[in-house]
Amino acid sequence: MADHQEATVTLPSAPASVATARRYVADVLAEWGLPDGSDAAYAVRLIVSELVTNAVQHTRGQSPTFTVEVRLEREEQLRIGVTDSHPRHPRRLPVAVQQDNGRGMVIVRALTLERGGGLSVTPTPDGGKTVWIRLPWTASAA
């Protein structure tokens, strides 16, 4: 396997794109050796679902598309980024807030930290942002 692998897909900011992005990432990771039924694959699918849902729900009209990047670096670290052209960074609501939605970033942060990873947000040159997660690559252990 190469020292660095990368896959990218750009999709419309529409609710149907959430499932498309999730399946795309699962297929890429399966090609790279992460079994689809593993706990790590399940966690990544959930993280991607939450990040993409945020990109669709909170930027519609201001970001007609979003991009999902998947990178595997030296078979040690997996990085997944969701980029949109909306300038506002995602916000994490307090756990005590009683509502049915708004917990996406709490879920993403918890799953990422639980798996030994991290989360960051970086601005893009066009004024948007990329929400990145990084996780230790666990395909060999799965």
First to last CA, the chain: 17
What sign results for the dihedral spanned by CA atoms 67, 19, 36, 90?
Answer: positive
For 59-87, what is each residue's pLDDT tens digit? 767 889 999 999 999 889 999 999 999 88
For 84-95, what is each residue's pLDDT tens digit? 998 877 766 555
pLDDT at 60: 66
pTM of full prediction above 0.75? yes
User: Reduced to 3 states, what is the DSSP secondary structure of residue 66?
Assistant: strand
Residue 141 scores a pLDDT above 50: no
What sign results for the dihedral spanned by CA atoms 9, 11, 13, 14?
Answer: negative
CB 125 within 8 A of CB 135: no
